[in-house]
Structure 1
Amino acid sequence: MPTNQLKILTVLTVLLAVTLIIVSFFGAFVSGTYERDSASMAAQGKGQDLVDLFFVVPLLFLSLIFMQRNNKVACFIYGGTIFYILYSFFIYCFGVNFNKLFLLYCLTLGLSLYSFILFMGELNRMDVHKWFGENVPTRSIGIYLLIVAAMFYLLWFKDIIPAILNNSIPASVSDNNLLVNPVHVLDIAFALPGLIIATVLLLKKHRLGYILAPIFLVFTIILAIALTGMVIMLKLNNISENISIAFIFIFLAIISFIFLFLFLKNI
Structure 2
Amino acid sequence: MKVKNIMTLLVILIVFLAVTASVYGLVSSEGPGLHQYHSIHGQVVSIYGKGLYANDSVTVVAQGKAQDIVTLGLGVPLLLISIYLARKNSLKGQLLLAGTLAYFLYTYISYTFLWMYNPFFLVYVLLMSASFFAFTLLMMSFNTKDIKASFNPKLPLKFLGGFQIFFAFAIGMLWLGMIVPTIINGTVPPGLEHYTTLVIQGMDLGFIVPLAFISGVLLIKQNDFGYLLSSVIIIKGLTMGAALSAMIIGQIAAGVQMSLAQIIIFPLLSAVMIICLFLILKNIDQKKIA
Q: Normalization by structure 2: what TM-score?
A: 0.86
Query: In the alignment, does 2:197 pair up with 1:180?
Result: yes
For residues 234 and 166 of structure 1, the distance between their equivalents in structure 2, rounded to whole angstroms, comes to: 27
Please list, as runs of the form range in 1=range in 2, the aligned pairs for 1:78-93 lying within 5 A after superposition. 78-93=97-112
**Contact 2:102-2:131 at 8 Å conserved across structures:** yes
**What per-residue deviation string (whole Å, max 9, x for no partner) do you get for residues 2-26 of structure 1?**
x921111101111111111111111
Q: Distance in 2 between matches of 1:251 and 1:39?
A: 25
Bigger proportion of residues as helix: 1
Give the partner amino acid of 1:137. Answer: P
1:98 aligns with 2:117: yes
* Partner of residue 225, structure 1: 242
**Candidates 72, 97, 116, aligned match of 1:53:** 72
Quick one: which amino acid aligns to residue 195 of structure 1? Answer: A
1:40 maps to 59
Pairing 1:239–2:239 present: no
Q: Assess if the C-alpha contact under 8 Å between 2:165 and 2:217 holds in 1.
A: no
- Deviation (angstroms), 1:127: 2.0
List alignment gaps of at least 5 residues for structure 2: 30-50, 285-290
Mark the structure with the bigger radius of gyration. Answer: 2
Which has the higher mean CA deviation after the structures are superposed, 244-253 or 8-17? 244-253
1:11 and 2:9 correspond: yes
| C-alpha contact 1:24 1:49 (8 A) present in aligned 2 | yes
Distance 1:118 1:144, change over 3 A: same
Question: Residue 27 of structure 1: which of 25, 29, 38 is its match?
Answer: 25
| Structure 1: gaps spanning 5 or more residues | none
Q: Percent identity?
A: 30
Please give the alpha-carbon distance, in whole angstroms, between the structure 2 residues aligned to 1:147 and 1:13.
Answer: 32
- 3-state SS of the aligned residue for 1:171? coil
Within the candidate set 195, 199, 202, 2:219 is matched to: 202
Q: How many residues align?
A: 263
The AA in structure 1 aligned to 2:222 is K
Query: 3-state SS of the aligned residue for 2:123?
Result: helix
Q: Is the 8 A contact 1:13 1:115 kept in 2?
A: yes
The residue number in structure 1 matching 2:139 is 120
CA-CA distance at 1:244 after TM superposition:
9.0
Runs of at least 4 residues of structure 1 off by over 6 A? 241-244
8 A contact 2:144–2:225 mirrored in 1 = no
Cα offset for 1:133? 2.0
Letter matched to residue 71 of structure 1: S
SS of equivalent residue, structure 1 residue 172: coil
Q: CA deviation at 1:246?
A: 5.0
TM value normalised by structure 1? 0.93
Given residue 251 of structure 1, which amino acid in structure 2 is its aligned partner? L
Does residue 63 (structure 1) correspond to residue 117 (structure 2)? The answer is no
